[in-house]
Chain A
């Protein structure tokens, strides 16, 4: 069984203890606990409205916690606002690809680089060249308004922008949503590369993802509650049963 709250190893990068999020009187996420080790992948699956995005936003600091706490590298960051959390190494690739119309591709990258903590920021040219090497299509579009990008390119830009903040934990909200199969393959190829290079990720998706990982765990959410939490991925049958309201073993 999974090691839950309390039994977390000191070496865990992210340790989430009994976090719950309420919107007004509505409970979006019931008490949830998990840990993410350095370099490992946490897959968060669930249908629409299950609380996946809420969970990510709680980790990024975009919504405030009703209860529980979030520890990053052993440090409690529950009270740290979103714009400072990025300095601790938490980067969010938001739902809907984080479009910022009116800003060029380069300006998006500049924003990311500026957001990194100064001591971890590194050289600007080296940093941008690194992310552009990961996503070559962005190179030709540097001076274009980002709203002219295709969905796949915008998703690449959102990831590149997040990478420039020099994260130790990357939060991804449905990066495959609305993308063509080819673009999905491309995005996931890059994510696999990043994960194998040691970047820890919390990845939200609705369905199974083509992302191999050495160390991984999966949480399935249903109406704000965890209905599956294991160190493996659910099979297609299990997932179908969970989405349809069934409760597999926890």
Chain B
């Protein structure tokens, strides 16, 4: 990694740490400080007893000064001592259990949507204005317009429940049965990807069209490069830069909780579904933990995306230095 790049990465990592700190303070404020009322009561859940409330107050230090409360909260969240008073389960445990499922869903969907979107976007761009392009445009709009939970429910009902081709929801551990693991994820992957495919293929299409008009593409042709090389190494390489950064951000968001609806519809018992359930119960400790987890993931992915952008586009690396 060149000196420029190293400096860039270090700078980004340091600012990421700062942002993570700020996020943690914000989460703390949102849950414990800002709302009116007694935080212990809120924490206790729907049917609190007096002793419970008192115990919570003690444990979380609500009588202590604010910064001690903050420290306590951070300690509990990060060392796995958070308990849901409603379900009596350890929150961190639950998150840990749900993480691989959310991961499987998110990673699979992300790969699918990216691969399909790039293929469709490129195809549309090369056939811009023609019928195939317009047709794909309509498809993309439909994809963007379909709500994920509606599509998911539809697929689950017709292809899962009625036709029996796919399983009727649920998740199978990979190490138990890889084939079934895969089979159970096909519909969820599809449901989650459709929206993104629609959006990304359109964005890539317009990026490619713009890039094809650039002078350096003309130069590449003038050099006598094969059309395939011109397309892949020059047009696509440059058009992908904005797409990759968008992808990183969206992936972070999906991982951080954006797949809530899909997980719930298909009953995958991932982190998203855990969050949905907890919200329904107004069970504060899990909500806090998932929020924190989600926010952290998004911040980390933002940083990864920044670094990826600099790796892809050398012009970004020179910050604050004059050219030459």
Do A and B interact with each other, yes or no? no
- Chain B residues at the A interface, C-beta cutoff of 8 Å: none
Which residues of A come within 8 Å of B, CB atoms? none
